[in-house]
Amino acid sequence: MKIRYLAAAGLIGLGSCASAYDPKEVLRRSSALFGPEADFEYGVLAMPSPELPPETLLRVADLDLALEYGMRNHAGLKAAFARWQSALERIPQVSSLPDPQVSFTQFIDDLETRTGPQERRYGVSQTLPWFGKLSGRADVASSQAEAAWQQVEAKRLEIIRNISVAYHEYAYLAEAIRIQETILDLLRQLEPVVQSRIQGGAGQGDLLRLQVEVGLLEDELASLRRVQPAQSARLAAAMSLATEQLLPLPQLVEPEPVASEARAWLRLAQQSNPKLRELAERMSGGEHALELSKLERWPDLTLGFDYLETDSAVNPGTKGSGDDPYGVRVMFNLPIWTGRYAAAEREARSSLSAAGHERADYLVQLRADIELAAYHLDNAVRQVALYRDSLLPRAREALEVVRTEYRSGGADLLSVIDSERALLGFETSYWRACRDQLQSVARLQFLTGGDLR
């Protein structure tokens, strides 16, 4: 089927004076999106059964697998790809010559001539657009097709961002559940110590406080577990995975430090952001459309050939009796309706102006979005370092000291609970900062259209 698709895509270049696409480029882009096994039926994407079955995602939690499945199966990406294919097929339509015309005339009354009566006429003609019209139409269609491809790229980056953000949110939930379970286990380990102190004559107050705290943490843990189905469904939707089963909880990784370089990312976005590229292609298409509108004022040439079938003359001795005459026709259309051509030119200028203003507006908004995303990333990186290197080690050390003192009678239970709560807060804040950093990177990659490394 790939060979048939290559042949179909090759038609883009036939009859076209200017086409920016060739079969190898079409196949390269298709394979980059959907994998080398991407196949086509009559030039339309026909994906085989995916190499990555959905059951794998229900057993293994892995970001790379989630991204791979999303790229191969997301309906929105396939829809954008199909629109690009549709735009490609427009190029050979607008850049090829009009169909030739064949005419036939049967005379009701024969036209009598000296050499014999003319009985019927055959003709064929071909219209040739003015110089530059075909290439101009191909340039406009090529720019529109490239703009459609940039929409595919934007959709691809959007899917990557959505999957990454949902995955890291789900992984943060896993860490929050783990932290709650760990703190609960630590508090439950204190119950035998409290019981022994009560047997030694201490009051029931510490036991009641401990039970209340355990109850509060159990309720918080139950709330976290109740939100798991919603976050699992969100991740599955980002991958375009239709399932009612819970996805396995992933492990949130500790991110590497990333330097905040808003200016460098803005420069990268100006080069790689698909929306900016799409608007640039729309501007290029507008310029080609403006040039084409000026060419429409020039007439098209039509060349024709006529052949007349003639019977023998009444006098068989007449010179040229029965000879069939033929002739060449040359025709021009008369572009006299200047108002129509002036309106077409104004339309092209307005479309070009609109694309330019839209690009300028988007660039301003993009700059603001990158600055905000860079702030969130910088803040997350700072918090990750603060909790990892300073607050968490001290909180763990303080908890161990207070627990030891409580066992020896040197501290009360409230101090232990406060230390447990402080550690719980710091652990949660640390992993929240890790999540924020990873999500900020995903959002920045969507805005810049490239790798931040």
Q: Which residues make Cβ contacts (< 8 Å) with residue 419, sequence separation at least 6?
A: 395, 398, 399, 402, 403
Cα separation of 429 and 220, whole Å?
16
Give the pLDDT confidence score for residue 171 in this predicted structure: 95
Burial 291-305 (b: 16+ CB within 10 A, else e): bbbebbebeeebebe
Cα separation of 117 and 28, whole Å?
63
Name the phi and psi angles at 309, rounded to 5: -85, 125
Cα separation of 275 and 26, whole Å?
20
Q: What is the 3-state secondary structure (H, E, C) of 323-360?
A: CCCEEEEEEECCCCCHHHHHHHHHHHHHHHHHHHHHHH
Cα separation of 151 and 144, whole Å?
11
Give the pLDDT confidence score for residue 110 in this predicted structure: 73
Cα separation of 283 and 275, whole Å?
12
Give the pLDDT confidence score for residue 202 in this predicted structure: 63
| Structure token digits, residue 304 | 């024709």
Tell me the one-letter amino acid at 164: S
**Burial (Cβ within 10 Å: 0-12, 13-18, ≥19) of residue 244:** exposed
**Burial (Cβ within 10 Å: 0-12, 13-18, ≥19) of residue 219:** exposed
Cα separation of 60 and 250, whole Å?
8
Give the pLDDT confidence score for residue 373 in this predicted structure: 92
The angle formed by the CA atoms of residues 37, 450 and 84, to the nearest 5 degrees, is 50
CA atoms within 13 A on the CB side of 279: 17
Give the pLDDT confidence score for residue 10 in this predicted structure: 36
Cα separation of 278 and 283, whole Å?
9
Radius of gyration of the CA atoms of the chain, in A: 37
pLDDT (tens, 9 = 90+) of the chain, 453 residues, equals 333 333 333 333 333 344 445 677 777 777 777 776 666 554 555 554 456 677 777 777 889 899 988 888 888 998 999 899 889 889 989 999 999 999 998 888 777 777 677 788 899 999 999 999 999 999 999 999 999 999 999 999 999 999 999 999 999 999 999 988 888 887 787 777 777 767 666 667 777 887 888 888 889 899 999 999 999 999 999 998 888 889 999 999 888 888 778 888 888 898 999 999 999 999 999 999 999 999 999 999 999 999 988 777 767 767 767 678 888 999 999 989 989 999 999 999 999 999 999 999 999 999 999 999 999 999 999 999 999 999 999 988 988 888 788 777 777 777 878 888 888 889 899 999 999 999 999 999 999 987 765
Give the pLDDT confidence score for residue 418 in this predicted structure: 81
By the 8 A CB rule, do 138 and 97 touch? no
Burial 389-412 (b: 16+ CB within 10 A, else e): eebbeebeeebeebbeebeeeebe
Taking the mean position of all CA atoms in its chain, how far away is CA 245?
27
Cα separation of 292 and 344, whole Å?
9
Give the pLDDT confidence score for residue 50 in this predicted structure: 52
In this structure, are strands 44-45 and 101-111 parallel, antiparallel, or unpaired? unpaired
Give the pLDDT confidence score for residue 54 in this predicted structure: 74
- Give the long-range contacts of residues 394-399, CB within 8 A, separation 24 or more: 395/419, 395/422, 395/423, 395/426, 396/423, 398/422, 399/186, 399/423
Give the pLDDT confidence score for residue 301 in this predicted structure: 94
